[in-house]
A and B are shown apart, each in its own frame.
Chain A
Amino acid sequence: MKLFRTFPGILIAAVLIPQLAIIPLIFTGILFFVEDSLKNQFVDNARNTANILSGNFSHLHTDQLNQNIQTQLQEYIFTGHISHAEIILNDGNKITTEGSRQQETKPFKEDFLFGQHEDNIYFIAVPLIDHTGEQTGVIHLGFDESPINKQLETSFNRTFYSAAALILISTFFIVIAAGYLSRPLRRIRDAARKISFQKEDATLETNSTISELSSLGKSLESMRQTFIDQHKQIKSRESYISSIMRNMADPLVISNGSLQIQTLNNAARKMFQYEKEEYRSQGVDILFDHDLIDKILSQARNKELICLEGSGHNKAGDAIPLELNISHITLDTSELYIINARDIRVRKQVEQALLEAKKHAEESNKQKSYFLSTMSHELRTPMNAIIGYSDLILEDIDKDDHNRSDLLRIKKAAKHLLDLINSILDLSRIEAGKMELHITHFSINDLLDEAVSTTHQLVKNNKNKLTVDIENCSETLNSDYLKLKQIVINILGNAAKFTKNGEIQVRVFNKKIKDHKLLCIEIKDTGIGIETDRLANLFESFTQADSSVSRKYGGTGLGLAISKKLAELLDGNIQVESSPEKGTTFLICVSTELGESTSVFI
């Protein structure tokens, strides 16, 4: 039965079963036809012969009768038309013709059908009539039926052998054809087996000349190539991911839903001191403390990512403070916990160090504040005394007194030193973030009037022309009045100082950057200008365009540095453009909308 579940078996069955069903039908049909035909011919021949003999023997004289009959019957027997003949006369005499066969063993029984009797002889009785028309006797003729039976048997055998030969030849060709058809399929099957054992060199090409099988082979081969490519891609991706995982600097623990370890990467193995596969199928309790595991179970389930801190331990039992980033994912029906366990011993130490540093810094800051307040008082007090007493002496001595010029120098030097101390203290305060803003609502006109008034003498001394132009802008703003005035006086003072017989233009306008409203004060002079390479560090402390400048024009070199920091404090900036010998333009922009109650500490 197994055969009929194979390709050749099905083919054989498909061809042979109909053959086995049809051939006997054809075979029987042929036999019936042949048999009927032969028997009919035989009976026809027998009856015709009987008719001829009957005709021949009629109307003869009685004396001629026996002679003629014997002669003719012998002739018929010799030529094989009849097998035996005998004459039964009316008087009861029986004359057997020479050459007759089997007349003793086969008694006469007239046949009307072929094979009616089992004597193998077809008997016919022919009346013997003389010339007067009287019946003088009967001739018994016998026709041998056995040649017909032999002929039928031969026909049967021939038909049977032909049918058998047909079936055998068909089977032979079917087996060959089935083999021819199934060989490529077997080749595909063998190749598929090899492929299933991951032998990728096996080809599914059939090389068959049968187009369907060839096409099938090509399609399967194409499919195999696609699978191999995809397999390679998957392997490559797997290797890529595995390599990343393995070589991640952070320790990675992957466990199933029951928190049994599936994978530890190199960093995790190193941290927890486990060898390869040693941890496999063990619970995460070999890595994490129970408190931490409880947290994982209660908090991490069905969460994309949570961060936990807790304690773990290595194989030797040494405690490790850990920060865990845990993702809980579900793949098909299995759950996974992906745990990124970071050793935070160093971070904890750094945190501790930072706390100590902060404490130390706070202590230092206190000391610095104390130092600044002390120095502010301790430095300013003697300077104010020097300036004050210089003024008092100057009031008392004559204008012609030769000491007056010395006193003026002392006062000037003391004032310069006080300015310097004030500037240093301002800068220190700004850098220490101790500069406090006092936001008020004020008029820009008032501020400019005061600044112009302060710098008026200097402008006049250098014979400069000062113009102030306030464009269509909001005249009031929320900012720190004193700080902005300090910036404007500083820049305007510089313009007046470095410009002689020139022109100074002050222009005020509003500017909007995104939703940020700015008030801009442009101060443009026609003074000595600044070299381009010096513009870059113009706003650094103790920097002037040229060292010769301080000698010629004076100044501490802190003004622009302080102005810039103050402008930044007012949520603004200062920009500068300059050409040597042509003049300099400073653009001060500050926010107009600093909160009234805002106190910003930087």
Chain B
Amino acid sequence: MIASRVRLFLFTIVLLAIPLETLMAGEHELVVITSTKNNFAPIARDDLRRLFLGIKPKHTDIKITPINNKSENILYEVFLQKVIRMSAVAYERHLLSKVFTHGTQRIKTTEEYANLLKELEYNENAISFVWANDLKKNPDIRVVQSIWKGQISQ
């Protein structure tokens, strides 16, 4: 009896921790974006993964700077599942291990959408990911490719 109540309590907390948008079912499309100042072709799924893991891509020599977008939890989780194929904790651990074992610079992360756009404007070789629906008309930003499209339901 107590166990079930505690479970209910924990579940409630978990539910409250999930952003409200994620509970709302609807069509979502995860897209890769970059500055209009470059002319990147769509990046292979494997190379995209390598870029965000901090590993040199196989099919391109262009120096591309990935920027993690943590402005929305579900967006980040979809990106991790569809591209990185890791949990958030494992990915974070991996990024840290890259920094400490190879001495490379940590992949930039932003938690504010506005900041992300500024970063992309500032760094013409940078790429990131957003919901296509959230991408407002911006002359400096363009969609490189679509990664995933589907429903996010409860």
- A156 and B3 contacting across the interface, CB-CB below 8 Å: yes
Task: Pick out which of these stretches binds chain B: A10-18, A113-121, A491-499, A568-576.
Answer: A113-121
- B3 and A160 contacting across the interface, CB-CB below 8 Å: yes
CA distance A177 to B14 in the complex (A): 43
Q: From known contacts A31-B10, A110-B150, A156-B7, infer whether A40 and B88 are also in contact, taking CB-CB under 8 Å.
A: yes
* In the complex, chain B residues whose CB is within 8 Å of the CB of A153: 3, 7
Quick one: CB contact mask for B92-106 with A, threshold 8 Å, 1 for yes? 000000000000000
* In the complex, chain A residues whose CB is within 8 Å of the CB of B77: 112-113
* In the complex, chain A residues whose CB is within 8 Å of the CB of B55: none
Quick one: CB contact mask for A24-49 with B, threshold 8 Å, 1 for yes? 00000001100100001101100110
- B154 and A160 contacting across the interface, CB-CB below 8 Å: no
Quick one: CB contact mask for B63-85 with A, threshold 8 Å, 1 for yes? 00000000000100110110011
- Chain A CB within 8 A of B87 CB: yes
* In the complex, chain B residues whose CB is within 8 Å of the CB of A47: 80-81, 84-87
- B6 and A156 contacting across the interface, CB-CB below 8 Å: yes
* In the complex, chain A residues whose CB is within 8 Å of the CB of B85: 47-48, 50-51, 54
Interface residues of A in 411-455 (CB under 8 A from B): none
Quick one: CB contact mask for B1-20 with A, threshold 8 Å, 1 for yes? 01100110010001000100
CA distance A112 to B6 in the complex (A): 24
* In the complex, chain A residues whose CB is within 8 Å of the CB of B88: 40, 43
* In the complex, chain A residues whose CB is within 8 Å of the CB of B90: 40, 44
CA distance A112 to B150 in the complex (A): 12
CA distance A480 to B81 in the complex (A): 155
- Chain B CB within 8 A of A187 CB: no
CA distance A112 to B153 in the complex (A): 10
SS of A interface (majority): helix
- Chain A CB within 8 A of B89 CB: yes
* In the complex, chain A residues whose CB is within 8 Å of the CB of B3: 153, 156-157, 160
Please give the distance in Å from A390's CB to the nearest CB on chain B.
156
* In the complex, chain A residues whose CB is within 8 Å of the CB of B6: 31, 156, 160
- Chain A CB within 8 A of B24 CB: no
Residue of chain A at shortest CB distance from B148: A125
- B86 and A115 contacting across the interface, CB-CB below 8 Å: no
Residue of chain A at shortest CB distance from B11: A115
Q: How many B residues have CB within 8 A of the partner chain? A: 25
CA distance A259 to B31 in the complex (A): 116
Quick one: CB contact mask for A89-119 with B, threshold 8 Å, 1 for yes? 0000000000000000000011011011100
- A109 and B153 contacting across the interface, CB-CB below 8 Å: yes
- Chain B CB within 8 A of A254 CB: no
- Chain B CB within 8 A of A124 CB: yes
* In the complex, chain B residues whose CB is within 8 Å of the CB of A50: 81, 85
- B7 and A113 contacting across the interface, CB-CB below 8 Å: no
- A112 and B74 contacting across the interface, CB-CB below 8 Å: yes
- How many Cβ-Cβ contacts under 8 Å join chain A to chain B? 56
Most buried by A among B80, B85, B153: B85
* In the complex, chain A residues whose CB is within 8 Å of the CB of B78: 112
Q: From known contacts A35-B10, A47-B85, A160-B3, infer whether A113 and B18 are also in contact, taking CB-CB under 8 Å.
A: yes
Interface residues of A in 45-78 (CB under 8 A from B): 47-48, 50-51, 54
* In the complex, chain A residues whose CB is within 8 Å of the CB of B81: 47, 50, 112, 124
* In the complex, chain A residues whose CB is within 8 Å of the CB of B151: 109-110
* In the complex, chain B residues whose CB is within 8 Å of the CB of A112: 74, 77-78, 81, 152
CA distance A51 to B7 in the complex (A): 32
- B150 and A116 contacting across the interface, CB-CB below 8 Å: no
Interface residues of A in 123-146 (CB under 8 A from B): 124-125
- B10 and A117 contacting across the interface, CB-CB below 8 Å: no
Quick one: CB contact mask for B117-151 with A, threshold 8 Å, 1 for yes? 00000000000000000000000000000000011
Interface residues of B in 40-76 (CB under 8 A from A): 74
- A40 and B87 contacting across the interface, CB-CB below 8 Å: yes
* In the complex, chain B residues whose CB is within 8 Å of the CB of A160: 2-3, 6
CA distance A499 to B88 in the complex (A): 157
Interface residues of A in 520-547 (CB under 8 A from B): none
- B86 and A117 contacting across the interface, CB-CB below 8 Å: no
CA distance A117 to B18 in the complex (A): 13
Residue of chain A at shortest CB distance from B4: A153
Interface residues of A in 154-211 (CB under 8 A from B): 156-157, 160
- B89 and A117 contacting across the interface, CB-CB below 8 Å: no
CA distance A115 to B2 in the complex (A): 21
CA distance A40 to B87 in the complex (A): 6
* In the complex, chain A residues whose CB is within 8 Å of the CB of B18: 113
* In the complex, chain B residues whose CB is within 8 Å of the CB of A44: 86-87, 89-90
CA distance A109 to B3 in the complex (A): 29
* In the complex, chain B residues whose CB is within 8 Å of the CB of A116: 154
CA distance A498 to B86 in the complex (A): 161
* In the complex, chain A residues whose CB is within 8 Å of the CB of B74: 112-113
CA distance A112 to B82 in the complex (A): 9
**A-B contacts, 24 listed (Cβ < 8 Å):** A31-B6, A40-B87, A43-B87, A43-B88, A44-B86, A44-B89, A44-B90, A47-B80, A47-B84, A47-B86, A48-B85, A48-B86, A51-B85, A54-B85, A112-B77, A112-B81, A113-B74, A113-B77, A115-B14, A125-B150, A153-B7, A156-B7, A157-B3, A160-B6
The 10 closest A-B pairs by CB, nearest first: A51-B85, A44-B87, A43-B87, A112-B77, A40-B89, A44-B90, A47-B85, A40-B87, A112-B78, A47-B81
Using a CB–CB distance below 8 Å, which chain B residues touch chain A? 2-3, 6-7, 10, 14, 18, 22, 74, 77-78, 80-81, 84-90, 150-154
12 more A-B residue pairs beyond the given contacts A43-B88, A109-B151, with a C-beta to C-beta distance below 8 A: A31-B10, A32-B10, A47-B84, A48-B85, A48-B86, A51-B85, A112-B74, A112-B77, A112-B78, A113-B18, A124-B81, A156-B3
